[in-house]
Structure 1
Amino acid sequence: MLSAFNPQPTLHGPTLSLRALTEADREPLFSAASDPAIWAGHPAKDRHIRTVFDPYFDTLLASKSTLSVTHKGTGGMIGCSRYYTAPNAPDSISIGYTFLTRPYWGGDTNHQMKALMLAHAFEHVDRVWLHIDPTNIRSQRATAKLGATLTEEGPLTLGGKQGIWQSWCLSRADWQKAINARLN
């Protein structure tokens, strides 16, 4: 990760707060992750099971770049997302390892969360990468709405596991265009 970049900032939006993931978040995040339908579009489809979730949480915590996502209205933890460096973009910032609880699908929540994270990242880089499982259509649609472009699909090692991933790139200029289009 870039040396001047803080991968665990505290970020606030109209309805969301993002902050560094801590050990105290294990139970609230497990509660958020306990719905099997959340993981249907993810490569690891069984993260709703405690014995699978705990090692996943340990990895997120050890990364020191994961942000918990809390809804301001309810005060409840509704998911998480993470900054990371991908092998195909070592001098850039990537955003991923994201999940949200189902009540927050299809609305403004993912956009607001990513907007906060992107604004922070674009203070340091001109491009941000997002990597998506080719079967995760919901994430692909949400990423396209951000203004990102699919650049390639192929083998990539993420989180210590090799798989086939889609690599999406979002430039600062394309992000600004997407924001302007959303405002008009």
Structure 2
Amino acid sequence: MNFSIQTVLENEKYQLIPLQQGDFESLYEVASDPKVWEQHPNKDRYRREVFENFFRGAIESKGAFKIMEKETGAVLGSSRFYDYDEANKSIFIGYTFYGTKSWGKGINPQIKKLMLDYIFQFVDTVHFHIGKENYRSQIALERLGGKKIAEQEVAYFGEPTRTNFVYEIRKKSHWV
């Protein structure tokens, strides 16, 4: 891999900053609301001990970010790059969550655009795992042009295997 999957990304309003161990409390504050996880396959991530495992997986992935609002410095959530496949020039974006205060404000499309604009310099295809009951995320990804291509059992870091849909966005001329 000749590029970083954990570099600072930003636009005028938001910043994706590489996740660090010291970010646990501020990120857990966002993640501790059960509503954040109600459509997610692993609905108990709002519990501290479950989120500690999720956070450890994020740190160990070396591709995770905390999402910040520049004007206020507020932590809005997290996302990450993972499972880079050099042979197929593909990567996954996922493990994304936002606090409920960020919902319905058009933040996710802006964050995904930042991530896609950056990563399409290095790959041709981006995949996403989305829980089969996570309708909110399925709709959001379809609005970005994602196409459902498969169903797959996914073993999250230290968590039970769950059924996910695999979505795909391919690099197009407008992404470069």
Name the residue aligned to 1:168: 167
Name the residue aligned to 2:47: 49
Q: Once the two structures are superposed, what CA deviation does each residue of 1:37-80 show, in whole Å capped at 9, x if it has no partner?
A: 00001111111111111111111111111011011122111100
How far 1:156 sits from its partner (Å)? 3.9
Note the residue ranges of structure 1 that are not aligned, 5 or more in a row.
178-184
For residues 1-184 of structure 1, what are the structure 2 equivalents within 5 Å?
3-85=1-83, 91-159=89-157, 161-173=160-172, 176=174
Q: Distance in 1 between the 2:32 and 2:72 partners?
A: 18
Cα 1:138–1:74 change in 2 (3 A) is same
Q: Distance in 2 between the 1:4 and 1:67 partners?
A: 19
| Aligned partner letter, 2:38 | A
Contact 2:155–2:161 (CA under 8 A) maintained in structure 1: yes
Note the residue ranges of structure 2 that are not aligned, 5 or more in a row.
none
| Aligned partner letter, 1:28 | S
| Aligned partner letter, 2:164 | W
Equivalent residues, number = 173
Secondary structure of 1:163's counterpart equals: strand
Q: Distance in 2 between the 1:147 and 1:38 partners?
A: 24
State the TM-score, normalized to the length of structure 2. Answer: 0.91
Q: Distance in 2 between the 1:152 and 1:63 partners?
A: 23
Contact 1:86–1:158 (CA under 8 A) maintained in structure 2: no
Q: Once the two structures are superposed, what CA deviation does each residue of 1:8-62 show, in whole Å capped at 9, x if it has no partner?
A: 0101112110010001101100111111100001111111111111111111111
More moved, 39-48 vs 93-102: 39-48
Across the aligned residues of Structure 1 and Structure 2, the Cα RMSD in angstroms comes to 2.0
| Identity rate, percent | 36
Please list every run of at least 4 consecutive aligned residues from structure 1 whose deviation after the TM superposition is greater than 4 angstroms: none
